[in-house]
Chains A and B, each alone.
Chain A
Amino acid sequence: MSVALGYVGKRALVAVPLLLVVSLACFALTPLLPDPSVARLGQHATKENVAAFRARKGLDDPFLVRWGRFVRDAATLEFGEDIVRDDGSTVGEGIRARFPATFELALAAMLIAVVLGLVAGALGAVFPRRLADAVAQVFALVGASVPVFWLGFMASLLFAVKLEWLPHPDWSLRVIAPDAGPGDYATRFLLLESLARFDLGAVGRALAHLALPALVLSTIPLAVVTRMTRATMLEELGRDYVRTARAKGAPETRVVTRHALRNALIPIVTVTGLQTGALLGGAVLTETVFAWPGLGRYVAEAVRSGNGPVVVAGVFTFAATFVVVNLLVDVAYVLADPRLRRGAR
């Protein structure tokens, strides 16, 4: 365990300069955003209003001063003031309010992708060049090549408009848990908290509203997980230990699931972790298409209105999430594989 802890510590230390570089790069690009004074003050603002606003928000300060302020504010996780809302609320408040919606969406999408991807990939490897394999390959290809915003619109038209099987996603406490009392669901994790509360009605509604965006978003990692599983499984199934297992009379299901799949999992887990980045990027589009009140839409809207602090803090949060997820993947990796643990020593 101490090995793992040391490893985590080392990786966390590397993450700090990495996140600083991300914030710096993101900051350097903020002058390309539209002037936030237009979004904030509208068509009636006078020259004086605009100048006063820019001075008040320190928008004309030198680059390093603004970046220094960002780093200072990021350290408190408040990320400074939301300059477009401008009611004293901080960017941190906005991010904390929206992160749970993105987290639950990404988690659901990843679960769908991993479960379907493992099954489809394993089937493809066990029955190569048969119908099941072909179907899995086609799905993987479609997932990899079709843009999520198009798929989102189409899925929404089919399932919510034409067939009316699923609602248009409405991720709000008013809809998911209409009878919640004051203070309930304070975590804003609507699905996880309804599960913890054993509120079946809320769980059902949460799953119904989560289904469309999660399925659409899952197509991004699904393709990679499926193809990766198929490739590694094919490789594993051809190895000596599999032949030995078969020779000693182990049933084929056991050979596939206990022997081959288990060994194939390690690269799959790594790839899954790396897919978090694509998933978060895809969340920006998916959330915009489905009006999902998450971090992705918050950042997209901030780009439009020139709300620089929100853009930088949002990208920073995405980057930090990516780093943390991959850190966890690496830890899981080290814990799972004794050889790596020895290597670490």
Chain B
Amino acid sequence: MTSITRRALALVALGLASLPAACGKGDPAGKGGGASGAGGATTFVYARGKESPTLDPAEATDGESALVLVNVYDTLVRFKYGSSAVEPALAVAWEAAADRLSMTFTLRDGVRFHDGSPLDAAAVAVNFERQRDLKHKFHFTEPGMPPERYPYWGDMFGFVARTTAVDVRTVRFEFSEPMPPFFLSLLAMFTNSIVSPKALEQGAAYVKRHPVGTGAFVWGGRENEEITLTANPSWWGGKPAIDRLVFVVVPELKNAYARLESGQVDGVDNLASKDVPRAKANPKVKVHEVATGLSVCYLAMNNDRKPFDDVRVRQAVALAVDKPRLAAIAYEGLATPIATLVPPGVEGHAGLPDRARDVKEARRLLEEAKAVGTKVTLRYMGNPRPYAPDPGAIAAQLRDDLRDAGLEVELRKDEWASHLQALQNGDHELGILGWTPDVPDPDNYLYVLLDKEGAVPPANNVSFYRSEKFHALVAAARRSYDAGERRRLYADAQKVAFDDAPMVPLVAMPRVAATSAAVEGFVLDPVSSPRFAWTSKPAKAK
């Protein structure tokens, strides 16, 4: 035996000998549990289902990107921790002009970006101007290609005419039409994070890969799908209790939960419905729920296609669906049945009594519309979504419910991307889809999902509902500052949609996450992605 072979064998033997020590019960080093690290620093490992597609807030639209952004960046105002109310962040005071055509913000003093440069009004103005102005040098466009609007800006900020720095600490927004009453909530969205102008100078690829903000955590790097952030010791809100925040990707929810139980991760971003009772019974795990479920799931009917162009057929479908049973079985009792798209708990929820399931009446309506026995396809997604933890179970029940009333429903499952695209292009008769709002305002449900302006492919209004009456009510509510009047307008709009039944709102789904029981200060926000600035966990003794 050569000395090299002998050495190699000795090494393997030693490695094997150290195996039990490395993977023995409760040993954080072997299991990779969060608390280990140089100098006893606390590391918090948070498991999520996917990686972040982009780290440039201007172009991010998804929750996975938002999870990183809300921890690295600040916004002018922010959602209060654990609430959907808005409170000061980088701006400490603000004032709207009487005509609501401008608004002025006063910035917090002494705030610095992670790269050391100061936060001033010019930096804030650049961040909004680069989104608005297609010719702005920081409006990143690929060479040789025409500039295009950033997705959110095009969607929601069309009324912002200009953002200027009045002096070092004052920023002014000018609007082309009176700003909507929920403008502050829009400003609190992650897409309006304030990026360091020095980072913007480095170009598109740099910003997409290296977020430089003023937030509680500083970008630490990315290894494959694993992202590390480190605490910002000079954050204006105080240094976070966690020294290192690590986001790992574990695609299977069950797998992620098993890692939480074994202590390999400190928190999981989502739980399979079936794991919720088990997690609640486990003293080593804490389940976090948002009482108000903002995500909604609905059954879209394509109003452009037969037989769903007939209101009687749509009403029959609405009567045939057994929502309480759906919530109890397919959602394991976690979700709440809803009568209209605006879920309870959101200001503007109409509180309409829902149709009780009535198969006989549904059948009568179908007979009247000569639609009994019509073959239709119900499309659903293969992947779980925040509002549909088990899409297959939901689809199966809907098929059975509609069959009872006399519609011949066939199921068709697609991968999420193909499913969404089919529905957005109107390539469906029935389809399951849902929505997690960007801001907790009725407008973000009703205007986005049911207004005629959204019924153009790729549509968000995948029912292709085009009611002038509904449109007039929602448009008026958008312009109103009178809370009572807005409530009334939205209530009327919901009544119109309820009667026309362009879709069947099914359930509102609360957000669920879990952490190990030792974790303190973790609160699940109803709107924002989880923020860890106020989270702590006990450091392991060295």
Q: Which residues of B contact A198 (CB under 8 A)?
A: 11
Q: Which residues of A contact B2 (CB under 8 A)?
A: none
B208 CB-CB contact with A under 8 Å:
yes
Q: CA A50 – CA B420 in complex, angstroms?
A: 13
Q: Which residue in chain A gives the minimum CB-CB distance to B151? A: A44
Q: What 1/0 flags go to A300-314 for Cβ under 8 Å of B?
A: 010011100000000
In B504-541, the 8 Å CB interface with A consists of: none
Q: Which residues of B contact A44 (CB under 8 A)?
A: 61, 151-152, 155, 460
**Contact A160 B262, beta carbon cutoff 8 Å:** yes
**Contact A38 B421, beta carbon cutoff 8 Å:** yes
**Contact A291 B11, beta carbon cutoff 8 Å:** no
The stretch of A164-172, A226-234, A248-256 that contacts the partner chain:
A164-172
Q: Which residues of B contact A50 (CB under 8 A)?
A: 458
Q: CA A170 – CA B149 in complex, angstroms?
A: 40
**Contact A161 B258, beta carbon cutoff 8 Å:** yes
Q: Identify the interface centre among B8, B417, B418: most chain A CB within 10 Å of its CB.
A: B417
Q: What 1/0 flags go to A30-65 for Cβ under 8 Å of B?
A: 000011101111111111111010011000000000
**Contact A165 B23, beta carbon cutoff 8 Å:** yes
**Contact B149 A205, beta carbon cutoff 8 Å:** no
The answer to whether A164 and B255 touch (CB under 8 A), given A49-B148, A87-B54, is no
Q: CA A32 – CA B416 in complex, angstroms?
A: 14
**Contact A88 B204, beta carbon cutoff 8 Å:** yes
**Contact B29 A86, beta carbon cutoff 8 Å:** no
**Contact A208 B251, beta carbon cutoff 8 Å:** no
Q: What 1/0 flags go to B1-34 for Cβ under 8 Å of A?
A: 0000000100100111111011101000111100
The stretch of B74-82, B84-92, B242-250 that contacts the partner chain:
B242-250
The tally of residues in B whose CB lies under 8 Å from a CB in A reads: 68
Q: Which residues of B contact A207 (CB under 8 A)?
A: 15-16, 19, 22
**Contact B18 A203, beta carbon cutoff 8 Å:** yes
Query: Least Cβ distance of B8 to chain A in Å?
Result: 8
The stretch of B105-113, B219-227, B291-299 that contacts the partner chain:
B219-227
Q: CA A179 – CA B30 in complex, angstroms?
A: 13
A195 CB-CB contact with B under 8 Å:
yes
**Contact A203 B11, beta carbon cutoff 8 Å:** yes
Q: Which residues of B contact A85 (CB under 8 A)?
A: 53-54
**Contact A87 B261, beta carbon cutoff 8 Å:** no
Query: Least Cβ distance of A149 to chain B in Å?
Result: 11
Q: CA A304 – CA B414 in complex, angstroms?
A: 10
Q: Which residues of B contact A160 (CB under 8 A)?
A: 258, 262
Partner of A174, one of B54, B146, B228, B252: B228
**Contact B420 A38, beta carbon cutoff 8 Å:** yes
Q: CA A160 – CA B148 in complex, angstroms?
A: 49
The answer to whether A48 and B417 touch (CB under 8 A), given A161-B261, A165-B23, A204-B21, is no
Q: CA A70 – CA B54 in complex, angstroms?
A: 24
**Contact A42 B258, beta carbon cutoff 8 Å:** no
B178 CB-CB contact with A under 8 Å:
no
Query: Least Cβ distance of B143 to chain A in Å?
Result: 10
B119 CB-CB contact with A under 8 Å:
no
In A252-298, the 8 Å CB interface with B consists of: 288-291, 293, 297
Q: Which residues of B contact A244 (CB under 8 A)?
A: none
The answer to whether A87 and B251 touch (CB under 8 A), given A34-B421, A198-B11, A293-B225, is no
**Contact B417 A301, beta carbon cutoff 8 Å:** no
B457 CB-CB contact with A under 8 Å:
yes
B209 CB-CB contact with A under 8 Å:
yes
B230 CB-CB contact with A under 8 Å:
no
Q: Identify the interface centre among B205, B225, B262: most chain A CB within 10 Å of its CB.
A: B225
Partner of B54, one of A86, A209, A290: A86
A156 CB-CB contact with B under 8 Å:
yes
Q: Which residues of A contact B38 (CB under 8 A)?
A: 178-179
Q: Which residue in chain B gives the minimum CB-CB distance to A47? A: B458
Interface residues of A (CB under 8 A from B): 34-36, 38-50, 52, 55-56, 84-89, 97-98, 101, 156, 160-161, 164-168, 170, 172-175, 178-179, 195, 198, 200-201, 203-209, 211, 288-291, 293, 297, 301, 304-306
A-B contact pairs, 27 of them (CB 8 A): A34-B416, A34-B418, A38-B418, A39-B53, A42-B151, A44-B155, A48-B154, A49-B148, A49-B149, A50-B458, A52-B146, A88-B209, A167-B262, A170-B32, A170-B259, A172-B32, A172-B223, A172-B226, A174-B223, A178-B38, A201-B22, A201-B29, A203-B15, A204-B19, A291-B255, A304-B417, A306-B418
Beyond the given A38-B421, A172-B32, please list 4 additional residue pairs across the A-B interface where CB-CB is below 8 A: A47-B458, A56-B142, A161-B262, A204-B23
Interface residues of B (CB under 8 A from A): 8, 11, 14-19, 21-23, 25, 29-32, 36-38, 43, 53-56, 61-62, 142, 145-146, 148-149, 151-152, 154-155, 204-205, 208-209, 223-226, 228, 246, 248-252, 255, 258-259, 261-262, 264, 383, 414-418, 420-421, 456-458, 460
Please name the 6 residue pairs, one residue from A and one from B, whose CB atoms are nearest each other, closest first.
A175-B32, A88-B205, A204-B18, A87-B208, A34-B417, A203-B15
